[in-house]
Amino acid sequence: MTSYSDFHRRSIEDRDGFWREQAALIEWETPFTQVCDYSNPPFARWYAGGKTNLCHNAVDRHLKDRPDQNALIFVSTEVDKEIIYSFRQLHAEVQRMAASLQALGVKKGDRVLIYMPMIPEAAFAMLACTRIGAIHSVVFGGFASVSLASRIDDSQPVVIVSADAGSRGGKVVPYKGLLDEAIRLAQHKPARVLMVDRGLAAFDKVDGRDADYAALRQQHLDTVVPCTWVDATHPSYTLYTSGTTGKPKGVQRDTGGYAVALAASMKHIYCGNPGETYFSTSDIGWVVGHSYIIYGPLVAGMATIMYEGLPIRPDAGIWWQLVEKYKVTVMFSAPTAVRVLKKQDPAYLSKYDLSSLRALFLAGEPLDEPTAKWIAESLGRPIIDNYWQTETGWPILSICKGVDDSATKFGSPGKAVYGYDVKLIDEATGTEITEPGQKGVVTVEGPLPPGCLQTVWGDDDRFVKTYWTSVPGRMVYSTFDWGIRDADGYYFILGRTDDVINVAGHRLGTREIEESISSHPNIAEVAVVGVADQLKGQVAIAFAVLKDTSKAATTADALKHEGEIMKLVDEQLGAVARPARVRFVSALPKTRSGKMLRRVIQAVCEGRDAGDLSTMEDPSALQQIKDLMAPK
Ligand code: ATP
Ligand code: MG
């Protein structure tokens, strides 16, 4: 067996040979003539000349070998439902949805915005779009009118598919009113709205615009809608980044490269085999939901679980119950969800037979050591941290289990994944850092591998200007994250480049300070931001959530904790990193996908306008910080 470093090296040095081999993992209608057309950097055209279809590879292709195997397993603890679709049934439902969209006028290249809860019809709608060459744009169902309106204006959909309501923690969350309001606010007006009525919330119908899915489906029970073969470079979808650092960017994904990248990742990274079950706890509104609830598992011929509900309802054992019941082999979640479980009784994990599970993958935010240790010990299974972005669509850093038997290291999402020519760049000089243990910006030398963003939707200029820097002869993609690489090739992500604090000339990553503070036994979670300071340029301020709040019930207790934390940081990182203040709150402001909104905390601390708050989960968390920082 060749070592992983040889495997990785070949993917870079013999790029076309490597990706030509991977391309055989999917089915093509017309073979490609060129593996990678990079004649116009940084725009890469993967598998130019080839024609394929994402839905064909996710669904139709499996009718031959596994028509009656599970494809989509829908579980809702919100409405108490469990429905299993075999590949044959999924094929039928996708065609009914595709026929309904066509009846509403959707054609190849048209955009269809999907604003839906985690229900099977959302998956049908995504697959139906790629089936007919329409471009879907899924907007997370938790967003309200203003965020939705800006995404409607950006993607300009012909049709919007939605539902009467979602449900969260047993409470009905009506969607239609928000959608109507968003359409009213938007400049662009979709011609039609296709409504899935779950019978959860009554809603107003707009005559001539709103169509009822149940009725349309009934008319198209047997309509055959063949897959439209599209160019490998035809866009399959657009998707907005999480908006952690500012205005969300509309990532545009291709078809052929994406299908190949996902198929290859299922083989080399996730080790999921046809006929097995994959369970990703994300939401279809995020990139993990696109790649690893819908397309990745299905392309690999696996069943995928689509779960509507909380991880702790009816109790904190629900996920593990599903793992046992459906013999899940691969699971994917996020550190934020694990932290929710960590507050519950760990006995829930040992209650079920988890022997089918080979590994739990986590991604989306730094996996702190206490959380990683807790889940690894409670689960007794390998925990594999993945680092990637909406932009890339699949991991940049991971341990590629299928081709690499090296161990994971706590705090590291692993090594550069094959296909990614990852380089650390010194921000000040723009030169590559080759020495181990040195900090730099994590970049990828162009071309980005298959499956990554083609461009920013409708804005090539923004794509080039936002992400790329030219170095003589080359173009380099920036992740805007800061990292270090150790001597064994493992990377450690230190935070976002705009989360760097400059204290009296010392550049510090907020993540390092947070890690240090988290090692205090009574700290559950912490956010560190840099705040303008007349003397030092910037100082670090920490907002921490305590595990046991009774221990900081009085001001004296809080001061004692603050003192202990400062001492800890002094010892671990040095006095320059010591936060100027540590304040205790009951929750921290995060995006709906669980990412810490440091830019918002920082703005509040500096008395500035907090900017776009549309992706924020819980406004009361920010209010606590405002109250603490208000001049007394
Ligand atoms: P926006 O780009 O709109 O500001 P965002 O960057 O949060 O939002 P995503 O694409 O969802 O949008 O998140 C990608 C980012 O999440 C990465 O750039 C990185 O900062 C962080 N991230 C993802 N996975 C990991 C990980 N395993 N470890 C550390 N950080 C991670
Ligand atoms: Mg980002």
Question: pLDDT, tens digit, for every residue of 292-313?
Answer: 999 999 999 999 999 999 999 9
Smallest-distance ligand from the CA of 140: 1
The average pLDDT across 370-376 equals: 91
The CB of 386 under 6 Å from ligand 1? The reply is: yes
Find the 457 Cα to ligand 1 centroid distance in Å: 19
Find the 290 Cα to ligand 1 centroid distance in Å: 16
Mutate which of 139, 244, 467 for ligand 1? The one with the most ligand atoms within 8 Å of its CB, which is 244
3-state secondary structure of 497: helix
pLDDT surpasses 70 at 151: yes
3-state secondary structure of 300: coil
Backbone angles phi, psi at 342, to 5 degrees: -60, -25
Residue by residue, what is the 3-state secondary structure of 136-205? EEECCCCCCHHHHHHHHHHHCCCEEEEECEEEECCEEEECHHHHHHHHHHCCCCCCEEEEECCCCCCCCC
Which residue's CA lies nearest to atom 12 of ligand 1?
A: 242
Smallest-distance ligand from the CA of 479: 1
Confidence band for 632, pLDDT divided at 50, 70 and 90: low
Find the 510 Cα to ligand 1 centroid distance in Å: 15
Instruction: Name the residues around ion ligand 2, CB cutoff 5 A.
Output: 241
Q: Which residues contact 599 (CB under 8 A, 6 or more apart)?
A: 244, 245, 246, 498, 611
Confidence band for 146, pLDDT divided at 50, 70 and 90: confident
pLDDT surpasses 80 at 550: no
The structure tokens listed for 607 are: 């008395």
One-character DSSP codes across 418-444 = TT--EEEE-TTT-PEE-STT--EEEEE
pLDDT at 549: 76
Smallest-distance ligand from the CA of 396: 1
Nearest alpha-carbon partner for 130 in 104, 98, 92: 98
The residue with greater pLDDT, 508 or 392, is: 392
pLDDT at 548: 81
How far from 581 is each of 55, 505, 558, 578, CA to CA, in Å? 53, 19, 11, 9
Q: Which residues contact 171 (CB under 8 A, 6 or more apart)?
A: none
Count the neighbouring beta carbons within 10 Å of the beta carbon of residue 273: 13
pLDDT at 339: 86
Find the 194 Cα to ligand 1 centroid distance in Å: 32
Smallest-distance ligand from the CA of 251: 1
Find the 583 Cα to ligand 2 centroid distance in Å: 27
Find the 622 Cα to ligand 1 centroid distance in Å: 21
pLDDT at 511: 83
The average pLDDT across 575-582 equals: 90
| Atom in ligand 1 nearest the alpha carbon of residue 479 | 18
pLDDT at 44: 98
The CB of 366 under 6 Å from ligand 1? The reply is: yes
The structure tokens listed for 144 are: 């309200």
Lowest model confidence (mean pLDDT) among 80-94, 297-311, 485-499, 542-556? 542-556
How many whole angstroms separate alpha carbon 397 and alpha carbon 2? 19
3-state secondary structure of 623: helix
The CB of 364 under 6 Å from ligand 1? The reply is: yes
Q: Are strands 523-533 and 135-138 parallel, antiparallel or unpaired?
A: unpaired
The CB of 244 under 6 Å from ligand 1? The reply is: yes
Query: What percentage of the chain has pLDDT greater than the value 70?
Result: 99
pLDDT at 14: 98
The CB of 595 under 6 Å from ligand 1? The reply is: yes
Find the 389 Cα to ligand 2 centroid distance in Å: 6
Find the 40 Cα to ligand 1 centroid distance in Å: 27
pLDDT at 370: 85
What DSSP element (H or E) covers 555?
A: helix 555-572
Count the neighbouring beta carbons within 10 Å of the beta carbon of residue 432: 14
Which residue's CA lies nearest to atom 28 of ligand 1?
A: 366
Which residue's CA lies nearest to atom 3 of ligand 1?
A: 243
Cβ–Cβ under 8 Å, residues 489 and 416: yes
Find the 485 Cα to ligand 2 centroid distance in Å: 20
Mutate which of 369, 453, 481, 615 for ligand 1? The one with the most ligand atoms within 8 Å of its CB, which is 481
The structure tokens listed for 613 are: 């708050």
The CB of 414 under 6 Å from ligand 1? The reply is: no
Query: What percentage of the chain has pLDDT greater than the value 90?
Result: 78
Find the 480 Cα to ligand 2 centroid distance in Å: 7
Find the 242 Cα to ligand 2 centroid distance in Å: 7
Find the 241 Cα to ligand 2 centroid distance in Å: 6
Q: Which residues contact 307 (CB under 8 A, 6 or more apart)?
A: 75, 76, 77, 118, 279, 281, 319, 322
Smallest-distance ligand from the CA of 598: 1
pLDDT surpasses 90 at 319: yes
Confidence band for 1, pLDDT divided at 50, 70 and 90: very low
Which residue's CA lies nearest to atom 11 of ligand 1?
A: 242
Mutate which of 143, 336, 390 for ligand 1? The one with the most ligand atoms within 8 Å of its CB, which is 390
The CB of 479 under 6 Å from ligand 1? The reply is: yes
